[in-house]
Amino acid sequence: MVGRKTKREFGTFWSFLAFVAVVALWTIPALGPGVIAVLSAFVVLYCLFQAPTWCCASTRKNEFCRNNANGILLGCHIRQHKWQKLKMAFREQRAAEALRKMLSNISGVAASLSAVAGTISASAATVTLLVK
As beta bridge partners, residue 64 has 58
Predicted TM-score (pTM) of the model is: 0.74
Q: What pLDDT sits at residue 20?
A: 78
Q: What pLDDT sits at residue 7?
A: 52
- DSSP letter at 53? E
As beta bridge partners, residue 54 has 68
> What domain range is 79 assigned to?
4-131
Q: How many domains does the chain have?
A: 1
Q: Is 29 exposed, middle or buried (0-12, 13-18, 19+ CB in 10 A)?
A: exposed
Q: What pLDDT sits at residue 6?
A: 54
Q: Which regions in the chain score pLDDT beneath 70?
A: 1-16, 92-95, 98
